[in-house]
Amino acid sequence: MIIEALNQTITLPDGRILGYAQAGDLNGSPLFLFHGLSSSRLEVNIVHDEMLKAGIRFIGVDRPGIGLSTFQKDRKISDFVEDIVHLADALGIDRFSVMGISAGAAYVYACIYSIPHRIISCDIVSGIAPVLEFGIDGMAKESRTTILIAQNLPWLIRPLFWFYQGRFSQDPAKADQFLESITFILDDVDKELLNDKTIKQVLLEPFRESFRQGSKGVAHDGILVFAKPWGFTLDDIAFFPINLWHGEKDRGVPVEMAQKVAAKLTNATLTVFPNEGHLSIVFNRFNEIVGALLENMNRGRAIYESKYCEVKYLESHHAVFCQWKAFCKGEDYRAPLRLGLELINKHEATTWITDTTHSFENEEADTKWLLEEFMPLMIESSVSKIIFIIANDSPLLDEIKGQEVALKGFFEVALVEDFKEIV
């Protein structure tokens, strides 16, 4: 992989630097990777060849204080979602898929909770569950001890990470000791990977990079994932589809934890590989994961997309979602609405969601067409609820409120400011 692609940065609105790496097909379908604890953006390079073959643009992002990213004091898990949105916007990416490895699962769940309308598909590999919700039974004794310290004596976590991992991380002569400090609780099927010099090196690079700035960022990341509320529960997540992938021999995150998550998330599918562990699943089963990932990415893409509008069916909400991007008129306005009606009839959708945050029509002829031709067909459809996403200070608010009055005789109508308000 070209070194420059693995060491990229943007400046965020608050002045912080956000580091990211790109691997695979740089012109392919975008997939954001959320790395594990004591790791970094460089995880994307582990499966560069597989992603190149699959046509996937694999984007790994350093969390604050890790790798190339500036530390962010008092951050929450949800704050990183905002960073991802800024990065996606900067890269010209509207909708994208997400994948989380181990502790990175927390940030994937945050994305599909906060910005589901921008997510195409979701995959979690060896993923952690919210331990404050599910507990830590079944985890290795050493993991349970560290988590309890993080929950009760969080000021100790930073020096502990430095003493046990960070102080070995930047010294090539201590590479074996460093890897041992990270993998010692794992199953033999994971440790045997280190006998392969190539695998050992590709694992060493992202682990070492996580401590580029010391242990502050890694420690804070661990406290957020294992010792603080995430800002939502799994009950709050309605996104579909979610694929969970886990090794039965995973001692880092026991498979029982993944089974509990799958039972809680009715939209999730759990695949367990009997002879794989926390890390080996990536090296031995990634082609199977990518195959399913591609199916879900194709399934979640918009049915209609132009520079003016995007229309798709949201199975999680049993809704057709119409997102306006720019002002338009005539067929540019009417074509996506007609297609949306086809989707309603095909899926017997019960909700129509229109996002007018960035634009909406304001041509008199189109408004007349909407009310006289389109809405009578909508009234005869399976839709019982219409939701407008619009800011309270939007110049379009009066127009939308006018439509609200006209529609209330036939539908339940709601105006919200953010997709997150839609249950």
Residues in the chain: 423
Residues 214 and 350 both lie in one domain: no
For residue 358, what pLDDT is reported?
Answer: 75
For residue 302, what pLDDT is reported?
Answer: 62
Indicate if the alpha-carbon torsion angle 216, 217, 222, 227 is positive or negative: positive
> Could you tell me how far CA 361 lies from the centroid of its own chain?
31
Token output for 291: 């195959």
Residues 292 and 415 both lie in one domain: no
For residue 406, what pLDDT is reported?
Answer: 83
Residues 234 and 344 both lie in one domain: no
Contact between residue 25 and residue 55 where contact means Cβ atoms under 8 Å apart: yes
CB within 8 A of 25, min separation 6: which ones? 51, 52, 54, 55, 56, 57
For residue 220, what pLDDT is reported?
Answer: 96
Residues 11 and 27 both lie in one domain: yes
Which residues of the chain fall below pLDDT 50?
A: none
Among 267, 300, 333, the domain-final residue is 300
Q: CATH number of the domain that 94 lies in? A: 3.40.50.1820
To which H or E segment does residue 110 belong? helix 105-114
The range of the structural domain enclosing residue 89 comes to 3-300
For residue 2, what pLDDT is reported?
Answer: 62
Residues 233 and 118 both lie in one domain: yes
Residues 203 and 236 both lie in one domain: yes
Bridge partners (DSSP) listed for residue 9: 19
For residue 300, what pLDDT is reported?
Answer: 65
Contact between residue 50 and residue 287 where contact means Cβ atoms under 8 Å apart: yes
Residues 175 and 46 both lie in one domain: yes
**3-class DSSP state of 218:** helix
Residues 50 and 140 both lie in one domain: yes
> Could you tell me how far CA 52 lies from the centroid of its own chain?
21
For residue 309, what pLDDT is reported?
Answer: 85
Residues 260 and 309 both lie in one domain: no
Counting the structural domains of the chain, the total is 2
Q: Which ranges constitute the DSSP H helices of 268-410?
A: 280-300, 331-347, 364-369, 375-379, 397-407
Beta strands in 194-318 (DSSP E): 242-247, 268-273, 304-305, 309-314
Contact between residue 399 and residue 360 where contact means Cβ atoms under 8 Å apart: yes
CB within 8 A of 203, min separation 6: which ones? 46, 179, 193, 194, 279
Phi, psi of 74 (to 5 degrees): 60, 25
Q: CATH number of the domain that 384 lies in? A: 3.30.750.24
Distance CA 325, CA 323 (A): 6
Distance CA 256, CA 135 (A): 11
